[in-house]
A and B are shown apart, each in its own frame.
Chain A
Amino acid sequence: MLSVFRLAAAGIALLATMIAVQAADPVVIGLEIPLSPPGDPASGQLIRRGGELAIEYINGPMGGVLPDRKAALAVQDSQGRTESGIAAYRRLVTEDRAVGVTGFFHSSVNLAVNEVAKELGVPTMATQASASDITAKRYDVAFRTHAIDPLRVAAFLEFIKLKKFKRIAMLAETTDYGIGIAEETEKQSKEQKLGLELMTVTFDHGSTDLTPLLLQVKAFKPDLVINIGVGQPMDLMIEQAATLGITPQTPMLVSYDAPIRPQFWQLHPKTGAGLYYIAYYSPKQKLSDAGDWLTKAYEAKYNESPVYSSLNGFGDVLIFAQAVKQAHSTDPKAVIKALETGRFKSWTSSPVTFPRADGVFFHNWSPPILILQYTSANQDWKTADVIVEHAGTQ
């Protein structure tokens, strides 16, 4: 009889130890980013910086997530490949027990992961992936805090109307991102009856020599070239278009905010001036108190100002932490419900919400979209001219 009591006592002690260990376990937020090619590792690193500082903010000024449980970040490299992205998501969910996974940069990766997330139930949050289908598929698990194709293209067209351009050449990589933007541009220009002559040339993301394509573009004599490449092809296009004499006579618009990165002028010391590019943040914007905290912490740690990738990486991790806090639970269904019904603080001054809206706006929040221009070589992105400011979904 005594041995039965001893056994029961030992069992209770073991259970108590397990509960205590579980209570001390951190709430893990997954970060899935491209840290190696063919993805865009520069963006991945910038998102990571923001995500890591978000954890400091959550465990510091925010006061943690759940009682006695701090937040932690688990990071995986998607390599910009769908198969690696899916494996990374599975590891974050099954091994790290992440309550949500964010950081997504490449649309193709995010789209593929969402198909798995639909089965596993752990929510995803697109940090810089803009393909419409990420939210237009209306999956309960899929959220986004980034400019979507329709808004981005609306900004393009506002710029095109402002400059009175008529012949537009688009060079788009054959990814969900590139094709999505090219098709949306064709669609919106038809809907708005702008009378544009559009030339769309698509190319493989792995191409290194874009000369034959650019020769076609040159023969078309466009008023504007839209560069819809990501990472290396975007950089190669800037250089090779300048060599062929397309730019600077014909302006080029880069479809995302790569030119604000520190290494931009190292890669394009002679060809970067005059370039137009999309951006989602200007230092002139008013930020939330969390955004101000991040700016100070980032400048102290990295000796440079944060860019949008870092700001949004920070914001997305923060949003997941707030959703867990509001749900009082790490259960994925409770977190999803909190995301759908709550209002969240991010880096922007206005709150973030994820309504079950129509089409692509389902579970989607977008920052304002800016079109900036460098007017001189080695110009600081913070002083770039703001040509267009298009409202997001705030």
Chain B
Amino acid sequence: MFTAELLIQTLIAGVIIGVLYALMALGITFIYSIVKMINWSMGEFYMIGGYLQYLLIVEWLGADLWWVAAPLSALGVFLLGYLLEPLLIKPMFATAVERKDDYAIVVTIALLLMLRNLAAALGGPYQRTPGSNLPTVMLGPLPESGARFAAFLCALAAIVLFYLLLKKTWLGLALRAAAQSRIGAQTAGVDVFRLDQIAFGIGVGLAGLAGALLAPVFMVFPTSGAVTTVKGFEIIVIGGLGSIPGALIAGVLLGVVESLGASFISAPYQNVYGFLLVVLVLLVRPTGLFGERMRQA
């Protein structure tokens, strides 16, 4: 079935889910660009953000104060990441670990399993939702849930704020310096270990923010982060590892391709269209749409 209205509705739905995907991917790409490691437990920080949002709203604040709960949840996840980084990630750089990539994979996958099982043990396996009192909004011909539209706007705002943090502040300058050359930044007197800790906290905090914003939309449960991790990795491959504009554009592209494919080709393969896009991008531009070739000594 194909109509112009259905096409427009599907495109709008794709753009909205795409921006939300982008927020999920931003943390992964940011941590990689600074700390030079892939964090496989990113989805679990997304899940923790969702649980914090649920707790804050249900136990203390109520659904009307979701906008207070969301940054608090992100802050909570930031602090968790900030405290975990010296314990789990720093030893990779501070000691003579030979195969840093292997170390990062093992440590972050172990963290993934631990956090997932901890969530199941503490909160049970059930789905939960903090609920939302936001009314449905009309985006052209598409009715959209208030919670999802609010998450979309907040995700856009968070991406802009994050971009300004990197471009307009001293911390951003230091982070960009470390991203370009850790040794160069160290030579200039920047404490890169401290930056790693901050970058890890910010990266997982972004995932936590995504989890908090999407808690009323996709619900919260111990494995709710699994899908976000997969989408996040698809996005950073499409957009280019380490590129923030790349993450945003790739997120939207992925959302639109999945929505159009599910609507007009075949719905059961909704998750396959993203992988096809990844393959296509890798064939045409192996570094991703906005990625740059790097030389390593």
* Chain A residues whose C-beta falls within 8 Å of the C-beta of B218 in the assembled complex: 208-209, 236
Beta-carbon nearest neighbor of B3 in chain A: A219
Quick check: B125 and A37 within 8 Å, CB to CB? Answer: yes
- Given A35-B125, A216-B1, A211:B17 Cβ within 8 A: yes
Whether, in the assembled complex, A376 has its beta carbon less than 8 Å from a beta carbon of chain B, the answer is no
Given the complex of chains A and B, what is the CA–CA distance between A291 and B219 in angstroms? 35
Given the complex of chains A and B, what is the CA–CA distance between A244 and B13 in angstroms? 11
Quick check: A204 and B271 within 8 Å, CB to CB? Answer: yes
**Cβ of A180 to closest chain B Cβ, rounded Å:** 15
Quick check: B268 and A209 within 8 Å, CB to CB? Answer: no
Q: Mark A209-226, 1 if CB is under 8 A from B, else 0.
A: 101110110011000000
Given the complex of chains A and B, what is the CA–CA distance between A263 and B3 in angstroms? 38
**Cβ of A207 to closest chain B Cβ, rounded Å:** 6
Considering the complex, which residues of chain A in the window 221-243 have a beta carbon less than 8 Å from any beta carbon of chain B?
Answer: 231-232, 235-236, 239-240, 243
Whether, in the assembled complex, B131 has its beta carbon less than 8 Å from a beta carbon of chain A, the answer is yes
- Given A203-B268, A212-B10, A244-B143, A36:B223 Cβ within 8 A: yes
Interface bin, chain B: 35 or more
Whether, in the assembled complex, B287 has its beta carbon less than 8 Å from a beta carbon of chain A, the answer is no
Quick check: B143 and A245 within 8 Å, CB to CB? Answer: yes
Quick check: A267 and B129 within 8 Å, CB to CB? Answer: yes
Considering the complex, which residues of chain B in the window 122-144 have a beta carbon less than 8 Å from any beta carbon of chain A?
Answer: 124-129, 131, 136, 142-144
Given the complex of chains A and B, what is the CA–CA distance between A267 and B9 in angstroms? 26
* Contact of B6 (CB < 8 Å), options: A201, A206, A216: A216
Whether, in the assembled complex, A283 has its beta carbon less than 8 Å from a beta carbon of chain B, the answer is no
- Given A215-B263, A232-B221, A206:B125 Cβ within 8 A: no
Binds B, one of A38-46, A106-114, A156-164: A38-46
Q: Is the interface of B mostly helix, strand, loop or mixed?
A: helix
Whether, in the assembled complex, A285 has its beta carbon less than 8 Å from a beta carbon of chain B, the answer is no
* Chain A residues whose C-beta falls within 8 Å of the C-beta of B222 in the assembled complex: 36-37
Instruction: Indicate the member of A213, A215, A263, A269 with the most B CB atoms within 10 Å.
Output: A215
Quick check: A38 and B17 within 8 Å, CB to CB? Answer: no
- Given A215-B9, A243-B136, A207:B271 Cβ within 8 A: yes
Q: Mark B134-165, 1 if CB is under 8 A from A, else 0.
A: 00100000111100100000000000000000
Given the complex of chains A and B, what is the CA–CA distance between A41 and B221 in angstroms? 10
Quick check: A37 and B17 within 8 Å, CB to CB? Answer: no
Whether, in the assembled complex, B243 has its beta carbon less than 8 Å from a beta carbon of chain A, the answer is no
Quick check: B128 and A266 within 8 Å, CB to CB? Answer: yes
**Cβ of A388 to closest chain B Cβ, rounded Å:** 28
* Chain B residues whose C-beta falls within 8 Å of the C-beta of A393 in the assembled complex: none
**Cβ of A222 to closest chain B Cβ, rounded Å:** 12
Whether, in the assembled complex, A250 has its beta carbon less than 8 Å from a beta carbon of chain B, the answer is no
Whether, in the assembled complex, B227 has its beta carbon less than 8 Å from a beta carbon of chain A, the answer is yes
Whether, in the assembled complex, B259 has its beta carbon less than 8 Å from a beta carbon of chain A, the answer is yes
* Chain B residues whose C-beta falls within 8 Å of the C-beta of A38 in the assembled complex: 223
Quick check: A267 and B219 within 8 Å, CB to CB? Answer: yes
Quick check: A232 and B127 within 8 Å, CB to CB? Answer: yes
**Cβ of B149 to closest chain A Cβ, rounded Å:** 10
Whether, in the assembled complex, A82 has its beta carbon less than 8 Å from a beta carbon of chain B, the answer is no
* Chain B residues whose C-beta falls within 8 Å of the C-beta of A206 in the assembled complex: 226-227, 271
Whether, in the assembled complex, A84 has its beta carbon less than 8 Å from a beta carbon of chain B, the answer is no
Given the complex of chains A and B, what is the CA–CA distance between A243 and B268 in angstroms? 22
Quick check: A211 and B219 within 8 Å, CB to CB? Answer: no
Quick check: B127 and A263 within 8 Å, CB to CB? Answer: yes
Quick check: B13 and A243 within 8 Å, CB to CB? Answer: no
Given the complex of chains A and B, what is the CA–CA distance between A245 and B127 in angstroms? 24
- Given A220-B1, A245-B143, A263-B127, A212:B13 Cβ within 8 A: yes
* Chain A residues whose C-beta falls within 8 Å of the C-beta of B177 in the assembled complex: none
- Given A211-B17, A215-B13, A174:B221 Cβ within 8 A: no
**Cβ of A67 to closest chain B Cβ, rounded Å:** 39
Beta-carbon nearest neighbor of B148 in chain A: A243
Beta-carbon nearest neighbor of A41 in chain B: B125
Q: Mark B1-31, 1 if CB is under 8 A from A, else 0.
A: 1010110011001100100000000000000
Q: Mark A313-334, 1 if CB is under 8 A from B, else 0.
A: 0000000000000000000000
Whether, in the assembled complex, A282 has its beta carbon less than 8 Å from a beta carbon of chain B, the answer is no
Whether, in the assembled complex, B270 has its beta carbon less than 8 Å from a beta carbon of chain A, the answer is yes
- Given A203-B267, A203-B268, A212:B262 Cβ within 8 A: yes
- Given A203-B270, A213-B262, A215-B263, A243:B144 Cβ within 8 A: yes
Quick check: A216 and B263 within 8 Å, CB to CB? Answer: yes
Whether, in the assembled complex, B173 has its beta carbon less than 8 Å from a beta carbon of chain A, the answer is no
* Chain B residues whose C-beta falls within 8 Å of the C-beta of A243 in the assembled complex: 136, 143-145, 148
Beta-carbon nearest neighbor of A269 in chain B: B131
* Contact of A212 (CB < 8 Å), options: B120, B223, B259, B271: B259
* Chain B residues whose C-beta falls within 8 Å of the C-beta of A35 in the assembled complex: 125
* Contact of B120 (CB < 8 Å), options: A36, A244, A263: A36
* Chain A residues whose C-beta falls within 8 Å of the C-beta of B148 in the assembled complex: 243
Quick check: A174 and B126 within 8 Å, CB to CB? Answer: no
Given the complex of chains A and B, what is the CA–CA distance between A212 and B128 in angstroms? 24
A–B pairs, 29, beta carbons within 8 Å: A36-B120, A36-B125, A37-B125, A37-B222, A44-B125, A45-B125, A202-B267, A203-B262, A203-B267, A203-B268, A206-B227, A209-B258, A211-B13, A212-B10, A212-B263, A212-B267, A215-B10, A216-B6, A216-B263, A219-B1, A232-B127, A232-B221, A236-B219, A243-B145, A245-B136, A263-B126, A263-B127, A266-B128, A267-B129
Nearest 4 pairs of A and B residues by beta carbon:
A41-B125, A212-B262, A243-B145, A212-B263
B-side residues, CB < 8 A to A, are 1, 3, 5-6, 9-10, 13-14, 17, 120, 124-129, 131, 136, 142-145, 148, 218-219, 221-223, 226-227, 258-260, 262-263, 267-271
A-side residues, CB < 8 A to B, are 35-38, 41-42, 44-45, 174, 201-204, 206-209, 211-213, 215-216, 219-220, 231-232, 235-236, 239-240, 243-245, 263, 266-267, 269
